[in-house]
Amino acid sequence: MVSKNLSRFVRNCLHDLKPYVPGKPIEEVKRELGLTEVIKLASNENPIGASEASKEATRKLLDNSHIYPDGNCYELKQALAQKLNISTEELIVGNGSDEIIKLLAEAFLNQGDEVIAPTPSFSEYWFAATVMNATVKGIPLKSDFTYDADAMIGAVTPKTKMMFLCSPNNPTGTYLAKTELEKILTSIPNDIVVVIDEAYFEYADAQDYPDGVQYIQDYPVVVLRTFSKIYGLAAYRVGYGVAHKDLIHYINRVREPFNVNSFAQVAAVAALADEKHVQQSKKVVEDGKALLYKAFEELGLTYIPSQANFVFVDTKKDSKQVFTKLLHRGVIIRTGDIFGQPTYIRVTFGTQKENETFIKEFREVLAEL
């Protein structure tokens, strides 16, 4: 033991941190349960994988493994700026959008500042704020899991420094409608950084789903997107933020010089050019929705219509028991208890075969419980 009084070494806020609960890895489940076939529908990954163009781009780079990455992500920023019709100065690239969430907290939050976030939502907002000794006010979604814009606005105090809006929201798949977003932006003081986390942007097809990028000139909005979901590049760790160049300037001050590796950069550039892969990935989710929604309806279960690549469904049973039984049958999903919804599970739409396996095993598990 280094010292009897270990807690004296660490910053106080660390005692308040809850460790991130990741989806269980496939290999771990195989090892622990002696299974050979395991499917993971737990981390909202793309079941068809990355574009062939991304894989080829990274293979070509292997001989350059000894060279540091481009710290400015020049090519990737050029490609993103062109696609989004913005300037490269309005972009920051991160080691996943997770990193940008942390950078935002490091750049803008002081001890005692307040952060507003919907609940249930993505746990990294709590993590990043807590590390900076800021406090998070979780504003419950309405009973149908849609946003309560008035409550978010009403929660603002002179101490509020940042507001997270996750849309489509993880784990519910619900979204913030354009009018609601604009109501928030026009009602709150303009010295609150509004982070619109659009990790699932490409899947959203609701008529009134807003594109956050159109607000960056007029409001202190930071839009977050990622290559981990529709582009199938979760292993590479690459995401980006879009904001007014003055905000980007400050976020860059806390960024490590080589935060995005070279393989991630070339894979992301190739992914942006492969529209066919994006369309295929969307189709897989549409097909998955049709199949799972139908099964849930047959089972008499309530699900939340999703704008993302996963669905939140009320199993009416203890989700931990559902999880464990599914795990033993080689299907990994997420329990709702970590989101304060103990009877719900979150299921990522998989390939047709994976979805069929899930439905078969899920039906049997429910019959057993």
Ligand X SMILES: Cc1ncc(COP(=O)(O)O)c(C=O)c1O
Q: Does 44 bind ligand X (CB under 6 A)?
A: yes
Q: Is the CB of 295 or the CB of 312 nearer to ligand X?
A: 312
Q: Minimum distance from CB of 255 to ligand X (Å)?
A: 15
**Is 202 among the residues that bind ligand X (CB under 6 A)?**
no
| Residue whose structure tokens are 């979805």 | 355
Q: Which is nearer to ligand X, 98 or 114 (CB)?
A: 98
Is residue 233 involved in binding ligand X (CB under 6 A)? no
199 binds ligand X (CB under 6 A): yes
CB of 99 or CB of 180, closer to ligand X: 99
Question: Would you count residue 234 as binding ligand X (CB under 6 A)?
Answer: yes
Considering the rule CB under 6 A, would residue 122 count as an interface residue with ligand X?
yes
* Gap between the Cα atoms of 115 and 174, Å rounded: 21
Q: Which is nearer to ligand X, 162 or 166 (CB)?
A: 166
As a whole number of Å, the end-to-end CA separation of the chain is: 45
Residue of 46, 51, 58, 228 interacting with ligand X (CB under 6 A): 228
**Residue type present at position 130:** T
Please give the DSSP secondary-structure letter assigned to residue 272. H
Residue 336 near residue 173 (C-beta atoms within 8 A): no
| 226 near ligand X (CB under 6 A) | yes
343 CB-contact burial (10 Å; exposed 0-12 / middle 13-18 / buried 19+): middle
Specify the residue, 170 or 357, whose C-beta has the smaller distance to ligand X.
170
Q: Which stretch binds ligand X (CB under 6 A): 95-103, 131-139, 209-217, 356-364?
A: 95-103
Angle at 286 between CA 282 and CA 287, to 5 degrees: 115
Report the residue from 197, 202, 354, 361 that binds ligand X according to the rule CB under 6 A.
197
Please report whether residue 196 would count as binding ligand X according to CB under 6 A: no
| Tokens representing residue 213 in the block | 């990028």
User: Beta strands of the chain (E only): which ranges?
Assistant: 39-40, 91-94, 114-119, 135-140, 160-166, 193-197, 221-226, 239-242, 303-304, 310-314, 331-332, 334-335, 344-348
Considering only residues 170, 306, 319, 335, which one is a binding residue for ligand X as defined by CB under 6 A? Answer: 170
- Any bridge partners for residue 131, and if so which? none
Q: Site residues (CB under 6 A) for ligand X?
A: 44, 96-98, 122, 166, 170, 197, 199, 226, 228, 234, 239
